[in-house]
Structure 1
Amino acid sequence: MKHLIDITEWTKEELETVFSWTLTMKKHPDPGFKPLAGRSVALYFEKPSLRTRVSFDIGIQELGGNTTIVEQFMAGIGTRESVHDVANTLNGFVDAMVCRLFNHQTLHELRQWSDMSIVNALTDFSHPCQIMADVVTLKEIGLWNDGHFTLTWVGDPNNVLQSWLEMALFYPIKVIVSSPDIPTAFQSWFDDPRMKDRLTWIQNPKQAISLADVVYLDTWISMGQEDEAEARLAKYAAYQVNEEMTGYMQDHAVILHCLPAKRGQEVDDFTMNKFKPVIFRESENRLHVQKTILGYLLEPVRMAWFCSQFPQESTSPLVKA
């Protein structure tokens, strides 16, 4: 049984398989291919969601699976019922559980107490599905270069940055963090010998952006941080990526944003509109990569068979048709 809780629990070969299959299935859509027929997936949400909820729901249905939405007010995981009891209950109903949670540890507990595949659809700690969609996007637009590129993170270091750093353990990605300071939670990454000469902090955002192939943005006020809004807006005011700031970017560089964007805070209208094609391609790719993730976890042989029909485009060193 496989799960997607942290990118670091996977291998590079597994990641490459998902990326390859995602590109193949996106290029060759087949409404008759239903590898998840007879499979059911629970989508569990403690947090509000647009892209995650719709992309997983639609994607699983496109692959022939059944979905059911479970929200915190309904089940009350850890409050109304223990994690143990929720896990054992859903274990009798579904094959996988996709979770958008606050507490990352809950994912590990769900895995401990059930036989379901557990998929991390965002926690306060990490967001692996987003970064896997980002990689697919960079492959499509020609900036991936086998991981040989520089990504500049501008603003508040958070769960999305955490997953980018995890991805950088498998590829030669150089990461620049541009923020007023280095949060304590990320200091261990700067001390990690595996990231030597590949992770740097540059306080000046204009300098940091000028070195980037990819500039990455996210909101300064994540879900659950609303009480800190005033202080955060003041802290990161100089880090808004706007029309003036984009003038420091290299000509080939792009901006990615995991959305939702708070226009007028971390980004302005000009920048969002200029990079709209890549940002909303990035958003759409959540659908495509998550279909592959569920297919890989639940029906890898069927997925391998389908993608093997396009051998010049799709390879997997792990799963044979």
Structure 2
Amino acid sequence: MPKVATEASKASKQAGKNARKGESARKSAVRKDTLLTPETLPAPVLAGRDFLSNLDMTAGELRAVLDTAHSMKRGEWRAVKPLAGLSIALVFEKASLRTRTTFDVGMYQLGGHAITLSNTEIGLGTRERVSDVARNLERWVDAVMGRVYLQQTLQELAQHASVPVINGLSDMLHPAQLLADYQTIEEGFGTDLRGRRVVYIGDGNNLANSHIHMGILTGTDVTIVTPVGYEPNAGVLMDAVRAGVKVTLTNDLAAIAGADVLYTDVWISMGQEAEADIRRRAFQGYQVTPEMLDTLAPHGIFLHCLPAHYGEETVPEATEHPKSRVFDQAENRLHAQKALMYHLMGDLKPRW
């Protein structure tokens, strides 16, 4: 049966094309005197360190990384290849679209090389000990990114590898995602986010945990709205207590009203499929809809890290709503992770 395009889909497709043309024109219009050279690159602020949590950087270091991400998005790094001759191993226990593509493309754009390794090939902790994998990879590559089930796996990789290890996602945290999220938030609200209301609705999972960490670093007013029994990790909440930062936990959906940023994620993460029916019942009423977005502040925005399970935590009409920045957010994975890799690896020289 031939595919019939509706007027709405045609308009949406044309809008996307126009946006891409505008973006291309904006980048091509970057003045030559704003292009960075090897002599004018900023100093890497995280050189040689691991990035397993957003709290592995200070507020000042976060500022430097996000400034770099904004600069990269403006096209000011097109004339430099600061990671030329370097390589990164991308280790995946979990499926990926955005993480794999953006780390791979980002490393290429910075002049380096990425190699993707699936768990079928490696067998982390089964075919080989995690510590042995780390000791092998450190001899061949200059950094390791892991998208894994357990935070403990990343900690073990970092303990035994002498090169930087990056958390591309774990059961506990998703810090690289939050860099892109806050780049997107800054595009709407500027760099001083103190007092801005960020409301997360849904499962108190790795995203909720990392939002609490970013509230510590940026001064945003973070509220987590979950059903009873699905609150964020207690240890992460203690991080906020120790930092003297208030985090609001509630089951009341009224907390969404007037928010500057509304954020959601899937109710059923990879590895939780056996709990699917229980979770769907528990999260009834927590779906982000256009009507919910209409209750945000007039300038409020909606974010979702994707993939979206439409009909569960949100609906297509929400991700395509005028207040949605979901696809800007996805684009910013590229810029934010390029900035992160530069600040971790920018001081390194090829070993071969």
TM over 0.5: yes
Q: Identify the residue that residue 196 of structure 2 maps to in structure 1.
A: 149
In structure 2, the CA distance between the partners of 1:176 and 1:195, relative to structure 1 (3 Å rule), is farther
Shift of 1:3: 1.3
Which of 302, 327, 336 is the aligned partner of 1:289? 336
Structure 2 residue aligned with 1:234, among 278, 281, 290? 281
Among candidates 72, 82, 86, match of residue 133 of structure 2 = 86
After the TM superposition, which of the residue ranges 93-102 and 136-145 deviates more from structure 2? 136-145
Partner of 1:36: 83
Is the contact made by 1:179 and 1:202 (CA closer than 8 Å) also made in structure 2? yes
**1:215 counterpart SS class:** strand
Q: How many residues align?
A: 301
Residue 243 of structure 1 and its aligned partner are, at CA, apart by 2.5
Q: Distance in 2 between matches of 1:188 and 1:151?
A: 20
Residues 146-175 of structure 1, C-alpha deviation per residue, up to 9 Å, x if partnerless? 332111111111101111111111222111
Mapping 1:38-77, distance limit 5 Å = 38-77=85-124
**SS of corresponding position for 2:199:** strand
- What does residue 250 of structure 2 align with? 202
- Among 264, 267, 274, the alignment partner of 2:321 is 274
Find the residue that maps to 1:41 and give its secondary structure: strand
- Of residues 130, 138, 149, the one that matches 2:185 is 138
TM-score by length of 2: 0.81
Structure 1 unaligned residues grouped into runs of 5+: 303-321
Letter of the 1:131 counterpart: L
Superposed, which structure 2 residues align to 1:106-185 within 5 Å?
106-142=153-189, 145-183=192-230
Identity %: 36
Secondary structure of the corresponding residue to residue 284 of structure 1 = helix
State whether structure 2 residue 280 is matched by structure 1 residue 245. Answer: no
Mapped partners of 1:119, 1:197: distance in 2: 26
2:69 and 2:339 in contact (8 A); partners too: yes
Q: Is the 8 A contact 2:302 2:324 kept in 1?
A: no
**Alpha carbon RMSD of aligned pairs, Å?**
2.0
Cα distance in 1, alignment partners of residues 79 and 94 from structure 2? 33
Instruction: Write out the 4+ residue segments of structure 1 that deviate beyond 6 Å after TM superposition.
Output: none
Deviation at 1:84, TM superposition (A): 1.3
Deviation at 1:259, TM superposition (A): 0.6
Change (3 A) 1:279 1:144: farther
Gaps of 5+ in 2: 1-47
Cα deviation, residue 56, structure 1? 0.4
Shift of 1:189: 5.1
Match of 2:3 in 1: none
Whole-Å Cα distance in 1 between the matches of residues 243 and 314 of structure 2?
Answer: 28
Distance 1:143 1:219 in 2: 28
Could you tell me how far apart the structure 1 residues matched to 2:347 and 2:323 are? 34
| TM-score, normalisation: structure 1 | 0.88
CA distance in 2: counterparts of 1:224 and 1:108, whole angstroms: 20
